[in-house]
Amino acid sequence: MKRAQQKIQTRKKLFQAAIELFNCNGVEKTKISDIAKKADVSTGTFYVHFKSKEEIISAIYYEDFNN
C-alpha cells in the first residue's frame, strides 16, 4: 500500500473509532487515547491527523453535514 493510501486508511480508522466511542461513551468521557487504541494506532498518530478531540468532532460534523 502506498503511503498516501495508508494515510487515508488511518484517518478513516480514527474517524470510525471516534464515532463508535462517542456514540457509546459520549464525547466528554471519550479520550484521545481511547480513540487511538480502538483504531489500533498510537496516540501520536492521532495527532498527525487531528490536532485535538474538538477537531475530529468538527470533521465528523462536517462529514455528516455534507452527506
Query: Which residues have C-beta within 8 Å of that of residue 14, sequence separation ≥ 6?
Result: 35, 36, 39, 41, 45, 46, 49, 50, 56
Read off the pLDDT of residues 8-35 as tens digits, 9 standing for 90 and up.
999 999 999 999 999 999 999 999 999 9
Read off the pLDDT of residues 46-57 as tens digits, 9 standing for 90 and up.
999 999 999 999
CATH number 3.90.25.10 is the correct assignment for the domain at 3-66: no
Q: Which pLDDT band, with edges at 50, 70 and 90, does 5 fall under?
A: very high
**Boundaries of every domain in the chain:** 3-66
| pLDDT of amino acid 64 | 67
Backbone angles phi, psi at 31, to 5 degrees: -100, 155
